[in-house]
Chain A
């Protein structure tokens, strides 16, 4: 017990001497949180630039443009020339543009069915998809407005007209994110992903630095020769700090920013604690497997960046090729995400996520596989140092 306490004191001394540890953990998480939370603070983009080439310039086409401009999503930019609008779309300045043909108004009045042409730049994901939706809605509303005049002239009442214009009404509900907030969906997994990255890298760095700077024997001496005590003492303060950071992150998202959560915040604390423990185990496994700091940290970097893609919150895992799907299970973030879905979206409680708890706990069996190897490296110091 006394040995462990001595190592903890030694560890705190290292952290005080090297500000890198605090900057790379607390500083990096805070910076990332500020970045992503302010980047998507609106939840949905507003005022996407939509180009309009109005060749008709009639009252109908003008009112169409004004209404498109008045939607929350779109902001109309007028062009005189099709080529200019096209060029601006190619350079990414416009998400989309539409062309209102000549004689638009006259053709409507004469039932000649004029065509509105619209072009969407589908290379910019969110912007393109939303602009597409916005224009499609506006074209349908225009159709409805023209029909309304036509049916009014035939003497129908408003109720009948509504049924004629829109016989089927779609009521859309978004389970777990009623406001379709892009930030809620993305930040809820991106920030834990950043935490996973920090935990893996710092664990590797702090255990590996003993090798690199040749202090590992001193560490083992302080621990009374016990590798288990040495690792325990080294990781305890880290675990405490990382868990506090994780709890702060969950509080920030679900309590202060009021992200929708169907289940209980306490279970999310459990989720983040398991994420921290599993990521530490993974970091320890990597440095044990490659007891050379610079190699281990490169491997850790490559793995934690891939974790973002393979967690499956952007492109779902089932849409990936079969041989990649199984690979996704080796990332703690994947299991954190599945737990997070069950708890925040469905509030399913233990019945929904107990399997993920088991999966995350399985990571803890990784370090014992390599501690022998790491201990030998600690004693012999016979690997390249940098």
Chain B
């Protein structure tokens, strides 16, 4: 009998805490701004900023000292690529260099005077390219444009030379390309910045806004000496579990909505590739959001004042993004940072989202990430449990701690009264 009564009380308490937390969240304008405006604004802004995602027809200057049929054909083909557009033919390298310094062109193609003569003689012709390294995309455009044309021209010239030495067309073709290759670049053929950046950023927004919002809230409560860690004492009997679960349920129900908007609706609105079933994304969100909740509960323990979370932890967002391995490859990240990456739900969540939503995998493909997130959830649950327990103890002994501090201050000769007038907080 007593057992059922306890369970009943436990559920009632958890239910009360759930509503208590909901009221706190919805009555705090700052948290609402972070959750709903921040959470939805960033995905939309990033979709707008990166709506195109590739550099097309990058302006290039040409110094053609050869001026023959081969160099003209080469340059015409470069001009025809998606990557490059020949903006201007310069008379000298210094003119081209000046244009690049003025950022009117981002690449220079230099063809020396013996280019055509060498090719006609059956020797090697050299082409020099100079890339503006102020952005890697400029470098990529110039390299891709000039290299692909170089390969194409190479085969054409090889076939001409074989034909000149008496082979028929079929033989010549076979001779210059003994091995053929078929490339297949699924998911993101043009290497669009949009697709790779947004796939990684979307789920990161969930973790970060939840962290900033919940830390804002717990920081405010601590400033007013009303930390949720004092909740267990107000309940009948001690139970930290129901505090965690009750609060967690509040965040869960809010983030299920925000998460669905971020991971399903916004990609759909902006015609972002969605190659998996919608319910598979929901399953991923389920694991990810629960993981994020206990992650936030654990780390927000460090936040004792409302605004400090931004001042201290804002630069963690770009770091988390790099730790997902979306840009700098995971295998090239030093082992120490790979271990640090294990601390964040985003490391697994973002990767799972890339593989599921954008690469069109299935739940089976993201099973390793789901497993990792489950393990993380269990660990963070216990850590947040311990954090609440420890904070509760600190609150209980606050007066004793303060006395110790005052004694220390006295010894160091700090005038606490004067400080209080200046700092107050």
A residues near B (Cβ < 8 Å) are: 10, 13-14, 17-18, 20, 23-24, 28, 31-32, 35-36, 38-42, 45-49, 87, 90-92, 95, 108, 111, 113-129, 132-133, 136, 139-140, 142-143, 146-147, 150, 159-160, 162-177, 180, 182, 185, 190, 194, 197-198, 201-202, 205, 208-209, 212-215, 218, 293-295, 297-298, 300-302, 304-306, 308-310, 312-316, 318-321, 324, 341-342, 345-346, 348, 352, 386
Contact = CB atoms under 8 A, between A and B. Distances in A.
Nearest to B160: A167
Contacts of A111: 171, 174-175, 178
Interface residues of B, number: 119
Contacts of A185: 133, 135-136
A18 B423 contact: yes
B330 A92 contact: yes
A316 B138 contact: yes
A105 to B, nearest CB: 11
Contacts of A386: 220, 223, 306
Contact of B318 (A118, A190, A212): A190
9 contacts: A38-B336, A92-B359, A111-B178, A143-B179, A164-B158, A168-B125, A169-B126, A172-B146, A308-B318
B52 A321 contact: yes
Contacts, number: 343
B124 A168 contact: yes
A147 B178 contact: yes
B157 A168 contact: yes
Given A168-B125, A298-B33, A315 B327 contact: no
Contacts of A31: 315
Given A14-B423, A122-B189, A171-B126, A116 B181 contact: yes
B127 A91 contact: no
B4 interface: no
Given A142-B179, A386-B220, A91 B361 contact: yes
B67 interface: no
Contacts of A177: 133
B281 to A, nearest CB: 16
A163 B124 contact: yes
Interface string B176-200: 1111111111111101010111010
Interface in B49-66: 49-56
A201 B332 contact: no
A74 B197 CA distance: 24
A352 B80 CA distance: 31
Contacts of B318: 190, 194, 305, 308
Contact of A218 (B30, B315, B421): B421
B122 interface: yes
A107 to B, nearest CB: 9
